[in-house]
Structures are given as C-alpha cells and as structure tokens.
Amino acid sequence: MATSDDKLCRDCAERYDPADDRCPSCSSQRAVQHPELFDLSTAHIDCDAFYASVEKRDNPSIRDKPVVVGGGRRGVVSAACYVARIYGVHSAMPMFKALKACPDAVVIRPNMSKYVEVGRQIRSMMEDLTPAVEPISIDEAFLDLAGTDRLHDAPPAVSLARLIRRIEEEVGVTASVGLSYNKFLAKVASDLDKPRGFAVVGRHEAYDFLGKQPVSLIWGVGKALQRKLSRDGITRISQLQEMEERDLIARYGSIGGRLYRFSRGEDSRTISTSRPAKNVSSETTFNEDLTDAEALRARLWPLCEKVARRMKRADLAGRTVTLKLKTNSFRILTRNHQLPAPTQLAEVIYQTAAPLLDREATGEAFRLIGVGLSDLSTGEFADPIDLLDASSGRVAKVERAMDDVRARMGDEAIAKGRSLPSQRKK
C-alpha cells in the first residue's frame, strides 16, 4: 500500500517501501524521499548544460571530454558541460579565460537552430503531461500539475520522474526537477541537485531552509542589489526574515516587497501558459511621406531605442534585425540581417538596420518605417564581448550607463546626438 513516506525511484519512477535500500523494480539506488513529495504540484524543469549535452549526444566520442560551446577565442562561453565546470569554466566567461582554465576543452560553435528544435521536442513532452507549461527559455519551463493525478493515474512527482526518464530515452539529454508549492521555490529546488537532480522544498521546511541561504538566492537580487544589501549588513535571508515589509520597501523600493515575501517562501505568481513573443518591434507612420535617407535614419533611431528598451525590460535578446518600410502606394518592404550573436542594444540594432535602409532609400517616398528583433533568446546571451573588436565592450558599457541615468532621472535626461530634433529632416 502506497504511503506518503514512500521512496520514488528516479530511474524507473516506481514507488517503494522506505525501508528498502534499492528499488525492487530496477535495483537502482537513485531515489527521492520527502514527507510532502506526493502532495506538491508546482515544478521547474531545467535541462543540464543543454547546448553541451546536445553536442555530446550527437558526437559520442566527446562524451567524457570537457566541452565548451562558444565562438572559438572570440566572445564568451555560451555553455559548458559539467566536466568543463570542474576546471572552473562557466557560461558568460570570456573564451580566452575558459581555454586558459581548461586548455584541452573541445570547443564547438553554437548551433541555435539545432538547440531550438531539441527544445521544442522537450516542450512537446511537457505539454503531454499538462497544458499548464510556462516556458522560460528553450531548455527550461515551469509546470503546474495540479489536478493531473487522475489523468495520469499518478501524483505529480511520479509523472515528473516518468517525464525525465522519457526525455533521457527519447531525446538523449538529461534534466533536473525542482518540486515545491510555488514558482520561486520550484526554481530554487531545481538547482539544488544538478545534474540529473530531483529536489523538493516543502511548505513545512521552506522558512528554515531559506533562512540558511545567502540573499543572492532570491530571484531579482543581482550583484548591484547584493552589494547594497551587504553594505547594510544583510548577507543571509534569515536577516531579511527579521525585518518588516514596510522597512524593506522604504529602504529598497518596490523590490523590498519581493524580498519580504520570497524570504518567507511566499510567491503568488501563477504559471502563465501564454507563448513568449516571437519578435519585438516598433514602427511609426509619418505625417508626410519621406524620401530623404538622412531624414529616414533620424526616424529609425528612436525606434531602435524603443525596441532595445522593451528587450531589456523583458530580459530578452534577438539575433535577427528586420527593417520594415511602407511606400506611399502601401507596398510593404522588409529587409533583415542576422547578427553573429543576440543583442538588446539600440546602437547595434541601428548600425545593422541603417545600411538596410540606405540600400532602399534611393528616392522612393515612404509613409512608414519600422524595426524589430526576432530569433529571440533570454537576456543572458545578449551582446557577448568580441575580444577581437575593442569597441564591442564600449558600446554596451556606454548604453547601459545611459540606461542607468534614465532610470534615475527620466527618459529625457540623456540622449545621443542623432536623437536631437536639429538632426531630423522633414
């Protein structure tokens, strides 16, 4: 008879007596056991070193070798397998540092189309389990399995173990599961036991568990806020638990409310099944038709800034820049260019779209111009530094410094010269 104390085999997804050392069905010792294991239904699934795992799947000869997915000595590491991580290699590390730390690493250039296709295959498997799937990126998602017990004749934990086994067998990559009662703690749990992990954070332990953790564990606490908290003497979540919500909000603004709630294991966010945007764009229709290339470029720049602002707010990056033009006869022209790496910078969007515009602005009258980014990914992959192009890092640094000024003083506080009205021609 099944009980709440049963062990769950992570290899064959069978429940068995907690007194047994091995699973009676498959003899595996890989089990998960938790008092609330079969009562929880909010999960986060994250594939392990996804890009590198796909490459190892497709080339078994490198399965046991350190693998780094990136652009040779240019740019940064997009992904590193767990063997490479032993040497200190991690994503977003400059490639030259990664190769210095692990000179024997097998370096593979990213193949995004392949990764997206594998991600879609895994997403389809998730949706076979529940329609309530919220994608976070191509290799991770939240799942709400509440009410699926009767559909699958098993509690959510068992269904999740079956799903992970299916992903390994049919796709050939591994994934880790975090199971809890809300999104924040499910995401925390999925990082506790990587790779091939299955971790649980229950209601009864959440407060004490969180109190032992550093403040950086809280979603939204980046390096800047972490430094500010540290200056105030706050380094552990237990210190946040001792503070009043009004005091945290007074000191840190709206994020103070999140610090208060998350430090106590409270997260009211629901799992959203809406699909992520396929592109982010902005366009404008002129009062009078424009034919002059310089005037058109002047209208292009503010649109690039709008797109960049939306990308940053949504923590997205795009690899394909698309220019849209509508003639005075209502004919629509679209031209696009694919970047070597995803971007969320207005300057990069503009410098890519402007040459596309110049090729079309040969005297024809236009009534509309637009620009957009597609081929989207998460912001963590945005604008890697090109070590062979010294200006690449400066562009990002300048634009983000301008963003900081605008955040403090308003959107009109600072602008580039091409934004000034005197630069525009009608």
Q: Give the pLDDT confidence of 82-95 residue by residue, as tens digits.
A: 999 999 999 888 88
| CATH code, domain with 176 | 3.30.70.270
Q: Are residues 58 and 123 in the same domain?
A: yes
pLDDT at 384: 76
What CA–CA distance (Å, rounded) separates 399 from 397? 6
What mean pLDDT, rounded, does the chain reach? 88
pLDDT at 30: 95
pLDDT at 395: 67
Domain-embedded: residue 22: no
pLDDT-derived band at 424 (thresholds 50, 70, 90) equals very low
Domain-embedded: residue 24: no
Domain-embedded: residue 95: yes
CA distances in angstroms from 128 to 125, 166, 199, 282, listed in the order given: 5, 11, 22, 36
Catalytic residue flag (residue 168): no
Q: Are residues 117 and 215 in the same domain?
A: no
Q: Are residues 253 and 284 in the same domain?
A: no
Q: Are residues 166 and 42 in the same domain?
A: yes
Catalytically annotated residue among 140, 305, 347, 399: 140
Q: Are residues 296 and 233 in the same domain?
A: no
**Can you tell me whether residue 7 is helix, strand or coil?**
strand
Tell me which H or E stretch contains 284: strand 279-290
What CA–CA distance (Å, rounded) separates 174 from 190? 13
The model's pLDDT over 301-341, given as tens digits with 9 standing for 90+, comes to 999 999 998 888 888 889 999 999 999 888 899 999 988 88
pLDDT-derived band at 361 (thresholds 50, 70, 90) equals very high
Q: Which residues of 104-137 are buried (b: 16+ CB within 10 A; e: fewer)?
A: ebbbbebebeebeebbeebeebbeebbebbbbeb
Domain-embedded: residue 15: no
Whether pLDDT at 103 is above 90: yes
Alpha helices (H) along 27-72: 50-58
**CA angle 359–360–361, rounded 5-degree value:** 100
Q: Are residues 114 and 194 in the same domain?
A: yes
Higher pLDDT: 409 or 167? It is 167
Full-model pTM: 0.66
Q: Are residues 297 and 387 in the same domain?
A: yes
Provide the residue range defining the domain that includes 167.
34-201
Q: Are residues 240 and 335 in the same domain?
A: no
Whether pLDDT at 75 is above 80: no
